[in-house]
Chain A
Amino acid sequence: DTAVSQTPKYLVTQMGNDKSIKCEQNLGHDTMYWYKQDSKKFLKIMFSYNNKELIINETVPNRFSPKSPDKAHLNLHINSLELGDSAVYFCASSQAEGTPLHFGNGTRLTVT
């Protein structure tokens, strides 16, 4: 009965590869987000989508491309992976502006 689920939980890959992280929410929320937590444990927003439309795109390299096929899904595709991309990536959703965010349990990406 998971509310926000991400796959995979762990992802180990080599520099230069392309990978995707999937996120699905079954809460019927309109807005979905991607956050990145770096090695210093800072959580920073990367993107937000509202009803499949991109709302926030923080200073993120264009190697990162979110894709929202429908309101319940927001996938993150990363091209040409770099060592600095190693982090934990969290997907989240919320019903509307200002309402609490529900986070997934994260995907730990390790680039070697």
Chain B
Amino acid sequence: DAKTTQPPSMDCAEGRAANLPCNHSTISGNEYVYWYRQIHSQGPQYIIHGLKNNETNEMASLIITEDRKSSTLILPHATLRDTAVYYCIVTPYSGAGSYQLTFGKGTKLSVIP
């Protein structure tokens, strides 16, 4: 079972920031927060991950609360191509090849023109 809770759907106006929340209140100290997205008819795509500190890359920013019980993925300027299902996943490192991602239902983000 997924250890995260996400809203089932969100809308965002094109060009605006999309803020996708995720609750992971039972996260353990050795568990990372990963974000992936799945555009229709494609395989999941890695976006970003973090442990404690906020992270930023060319795709997005990840803000993790100090108690690590929730996080927010920020797409700074959403485009129509960002319409997808976004998955927040927590998982520990546990040995070569043995770490696994458990995908929940995710949040369907619709970017509106």
Specify the chain A residue showing the minimal Cβ separation from B85.
Answer: A41
Say yes or no: A97 contacts B93, CB within 8 Å. yes
A44 to B46, CA, bound (A): 16
Q: How many chain B residues have a CB neighbour from A under 8 Å?
A: 25
Q: How many chain A residues have a CB neighbour from B under 8 Å?
A: 28
The distance from the CB of B20 to the nearest CB of chain A, in whole angstroms, is 17
A101 to B37, CA, bound (A): 12
Q: Which of A58-107 contact B (CB under 8 A)?
A: 90, 92, 96-98, 100-106
Choice from A4, A48, A50, A96 contacting B100 with Cβ under 8 Å: A48
Tell me whether chain A's interface is mostly helix, strand or loop, or mixed: strand
Q: A12: CB under 8 A from chain B?
A: no
Residues 64-90 of B, flagged 1 when their CB comes within 8 A of A and 0 if not, give 000000000000000000000101000
Given A97-B93, A97-B96 in contact, is the A45-B43 Cβ separation under 8 Å? no
The distance from the CB of A80 to the nearest CB of chain B, in whole angstroms, is 26
Given A44-B103, A98-B32 in contact, is the A92-B43 Cβ separation under 8 Å? yes
Q: A43: CB under 8 A from chain B?
A: yes
The distance from the CB of B92 to the nearest CB of chain A, in whole angstroms, is 9
Residues of B within 8 A of A90 (CB): 43-44
Say yes or no: B99 contacts A97, CB within 8 Å. yes
A102 to B100, CA, bound (A): 13
Q: Of A98, A102, A106, which is in contact with the most chain B CB atoms at under 10 Å from its CB?
A: A98
Q: A27: CB under 8 A from chain B?
A: no
Say yes or no: A42 contacts B98, CB within 8 Å. no
